[in-house]
Structure 1
Amino acid sequence: MNKKLLQRPYAWLLLGGLLCLFSCRTYNDAIGSYYGAIAQGRFDDAAMQLDKNKFLKYRRNQLLFCLEKGKTAFLQGQYAESNLYFNQADSLLESGGRNKAMDQALGLLTNPAMQQYRGEDFEKLLIHYYKSLNYMQLHMMEDAEVEARRISLSGYELNDRKNNRENRYSNDAFAMIIQGMVYESAGDINNAFIAYRNAADLFLRQEDHTYYGIPLPQQLQEDVLRTAAGLGFETERAYYARAFGNTRMPVEKQEGGEVMVFWENGLAPVKAEANFFFTLTERGPGNFGFTDGDNSLFIPFDFNLLPRDSCYKLRRHFEAFRVAFPKYVEQPLYYTGASIQRDSTLQVQMEKVEDINRLAFSTLQERFMKELGLALTRMAIKKLAEQQIKKENESLGEAFNLLSILAEKADTRNWQSLPHTIYYSRIPLKKGQNKLVLTLKGASTTQQVEFEVYGNGGLQTIHYSSLQKS
């Protein structure tokens, strides 16, 4: 790049425009047509927009394509097709996709948005939720039980990776509740009790009995006590009754069975880009790290990626790094609560059971320092490469610097058709036909949705999604 060209004012205006073009376009922008259709409840149109979207056809976005297609098919009531895509997503996660070492190198040399998307931990567990509901809607209980067992395997893997550390997302109470529901539907009460108990324990370990923004659900308490009593586990029933402060005896099974109603409200947060500025500093001989403007953060330099003497070279050639990092942006809710009524004789409030919005913000914060350290190391590698190129050719070095600036971009990808919050309720049914009315409540509006459910003596599921934003 010609040095005199960069000294001209219009060249810097052009550079500024290019920076905006490269750095401001997010994943949400890239799938805007699809996302808009989902938010407005135009699910058939959303499916077509997915198929036309070129960005999602890139190999690195293959997992996202499968997740979005699986969720859209679920919303359309196409449960078999939904699980075809979710099974493909599972296969991608298990295989790891392209060579992991090459993928990491690509991320370091460019930016993490160029790497294969591997999913957030909570996104991976929510695949089991959708697959379980799909199988139950298709009356494929053996497959649903297999999925329930896979929830435990996913939980073990997550626990091992997080080393069971406190204040880290290493289990998911909602996934365990789904597991218990599937086992109970299949008549496996012993495993249902274990799953419900494990979910309840996650809440009870917290001083305020909340788990990632969710208070201990009343329904979960009743599930633990009911299954313990049904198995004759009086010691366990009494223990949890005291722990819950719940002295009510379990309700007898209804002749028509029961239905689990799931309501998905709003849309999960989307990712945007935030910028941080750091300098490389030395705290003691050879103890290099990155520090922000007010010295409130100190992130050690990873010497496994670069020789130690590279840090001295870095300090001689530059003063500061700009690092792009993802941040979540909450999507406002149109509805804030709901109740479910059966045949004008029974009405209950829907309970929050999974706050995906809260999970997203919390889990990103939990790994903030680790991810920021990788981002800073990425920028340091680029800066050293730039200095080496400048030794050979000044113009090429400047061109490489420009490309590095343009390439510095946060990974703003996430599974965007997930809901903001999931609510649930368990409704007893009369034998034969039952009419259910779900009433959604907003700040200045209400909506009623009717369902017809045939009470067959078993445990069934129905779901409704209101994904629009305020």
Structure 2
Amino acid sequence: MFLLFKNIKSWAIALLPLVMLTSCATYNQQVQSYYSSLREGDYTKAAKELDKSKLLKKNRNRLLYLLERGKVCHLMGQWDSSNTYFNEADLLMETARTSAKDIALGNLLNPMMQTYKAEDFEKYLVHYYKAINYLQLGETDDALVEARRISLRTYAQEDKVGNKDKYKDDAFSLMVQGIIYEKGGDVNNAFISYRNAANVFLDNQGKYYGIDIPEQLKKDLLRTADQNGFMDELGRYERLLNTTYQKEEKPAGGELILFWENGSAPVKAQQDIWFSLFKDAGGAFFFTDANNSFTVPFDFSSGYSRDNIKLEDLRSFRVALPKYEAVAPAYTGAAALAGSQSFKLEPAEDVNNLAFATLKERMLKELSSTLTRLAIKKLAEAAIRPSDKKDNDKSKTEEQRKKEKKEEAAREAIALGLQIFNFASEKADTRNWQSLPHTIYYARIPLQAGENQINLQLSGRASASVPVKVNGRGGMQVMTVNTIR
């Protein structure tokens, strides 16, 4: 038995570096071949990499696969196929429930083993992509359904969050909703959507998750107020937005709403922080890290009794937490040149900012549950381990002492095995929808009747010109340009 214990200990020490290496592999690293193909613009290869990914074939990652596959089809102009994937993803998000199995996997292993349910801003963007796909297919009625579902998503998010200081409304989605209603000829609902979007900015001092209220949104709100004959609202928002409405003639060829999806969303990585458990003068237990950056109370709602907590058992333990790492885009601005006119594309959705901010908003809650989960694991290790107290009972026979030593060695081996398992299984959830852009920009461009040649001039660390051809046939058209570099 002693030989067995020594072998287990030697094996554990030898295995530890390998365990650390494998347990720290992030989702991005595990799907790097797909991500590289995507950034290189080889969408056909990216689709093949997705289809052969063993990780994404797992049921818990089904939603991620659908989101990525839907976006790749969108990038290839396969609008119908894209929505086939997005519709299934949408259904999964709508019917998602936290099962007992998921809770057990999260507590015993790590949140990476749970079913992926999508970030809140990812859920909004599914509606955006579905609507764009429908508009490209000429299916305006289906796009209008997505417009209405944006409202339902907003209500659900407001119910979930409640706190006005957290992400609950998506101003970009409301702007897209207004555009869809306009495309469908529903100017009244378009006005309501633009007004709701403007109110989100106004309620946040004119800036919402890295985006200043777009000048185009101001124009759209005032124009639709005028078209509906809402003169009181027109005057009210002229004052609130500090602008004056300038009525413009309808262009002969209609208008182009041009969305520019630029760069790549941030990827999730893992950060390791060491915590200890302390008890204050009032008897309350709390966790703190070495830098005192976090002070988190022990969550006794987990069912663990404070009477069973020994501080010496929780002197130091590692917590794996997700963090975002930004991917700097090559381009940071764009202007659309149409004839002698130039139209600056305005930022409408800063996905990069949203990702960092929303993770920060929920970090304390996640940290509390993670720390309590890991503390219980550490206490379980300590409970198995034999006591350090010396046995001075002289009445025991030599045979009894040998038997107890064997039992102690076995318990130590089990505790060590549990420690290795806990260390190896501790992993942050580093999954996210990685084909999303860094930032979405947009502009409303008047068209001449007939063929229009528009050049999208990109600037930043690099520069480029992207030609956009569109036939001005009256009414509104919607197009997207993607630059993933």
TM range (shorter): over 0.9
Q: Deviations over 1:23-79 (max 9, x none)?
A: 2x1100111111001111111111111111111001110000000000000000000
Residues 373-412 of structure 1: matches in 2 within 5 Å?
A: 373-390=368-385, 393-412=411-430
Q: In 2, distance between residues paired with 1:188 and 1:2?
A: 77
Aligned to 1:148: 147
Residues 15-54 of structure 1: matches in 2 within 5 Å?
A: 15-23=16-24, 25-54=25-54
Matched, 1:112 2:103: no
Q: In 2, distance between residues paired with 1:183 and 1:93?
A: 24
Aligned to 2:475: 458
- Contact 1:280–1:288 (CA<8 Å) still a contact in 2? yes
Aligned to 1:162: 161
Call closer, same or farther: CA 1:2–1:298 in 2, change over 3 Å: farther
Aligned to 1:80: 80
Structure 1 residue 311 displacement after superposition: 4.9
Structure 1 residue 81 displacement after superposition: 0.4
- Contact 2:8–2:413 (CA<8 Å) still a contact in 1? no
Aligned to 1:274: 271
Call closer, same or farther: CA 1:147–1:171 in 2, change over 3 Å: same
Aligned to 1:265: 262
Structure 1 residue 286 displacement after superposition: 4.1
Matched, 1:301 2:298: yes
Matched, 1:12 2:13: yes
- Could you say what secondary structure the match of 1:175 adopts? helix
Q: TM-score, normalised by structure 2?
A: 0.92
- Could you say what secondary structure the match of 1:108 adopts? helix
Q: In 1, distance between residues paired with 2:452 and 2:88?
A: 37
Structure 1 residue 106 displacement after superposition: 1.1
Structure 1 residue 283 displacement after superposition: 2.2
Structure 1 residue 261 displacement after superposition: 0.3
Residues 64-463 of structure 1: matches in 2 within 5 Å?
A: 64-96=64-96, 100-163=99-162, 165-207=163-205, 209-309=206-306, 311-313=308-310, 315-342=311-338, 344-390=339-385, 393-443=411-461, 445-463=462-480
- Could you say what secondary structure the match of 1:395 adopts? helix
Q: Deviations over 1:237-294 (max 9, x none)?
A: 1111112221141323222110100111110000110011111111245421212224
Which has the higher mean CA deviation after the structures are superposed, 153-162 or 301-310?
301-310
Q: TM-score, normalised by structure 1?
A: 0.94
Query: Which amino acid letter does the alignment assign opposite residue 23 of structure 2?
Result: F
Q: In 2, distance between residues paired with 1:53 and 1:390?
A: 41
Q: In 1, distance between residues paired with 2:371 and 2:314?
A: 14
Query: Which amino acid letter does the alignment assign opposite residue 301 of structure 2?
Result: N
Q: In 2, distance between residues paired with 1:69 and 1:326?
A: 24
- Contact 1:286–1:308 (CA<8 Å) still a contact in 2? no
Query: Which amino acid letter does the alignment assign opposite residue 371 of structure 2?
Result: L
Q: In 2, distance between residues paired with 1:47 and 1:387?
A: 48
- Contact 2:64–2:432 (CA<8 Å) still a contact in 1? yes
Structure 1 residue 303 displacement after superposition: 1.0
Q: In 2, distance between residues paired with 1:186 and 1:422?
A: 23
Query: Which amino acid letter does the alignment assign opposite residue 288 of structure 2?
Result: T
Q: Is there any run of 5+ residues in structure 2 with no aligned partner, and where?
A: 387-406
Which has the higher mean CA deviation after the structures are superposed, 252-261 or 120-129?
252-261
Q: In 1, distance between residues paired with 2:291 and 2:335?
A: 49
Identity, % of aligned positions: 47
For these two proteins, the number of residue pairs brought into alignment is 460
Aligned to 1:56: 56
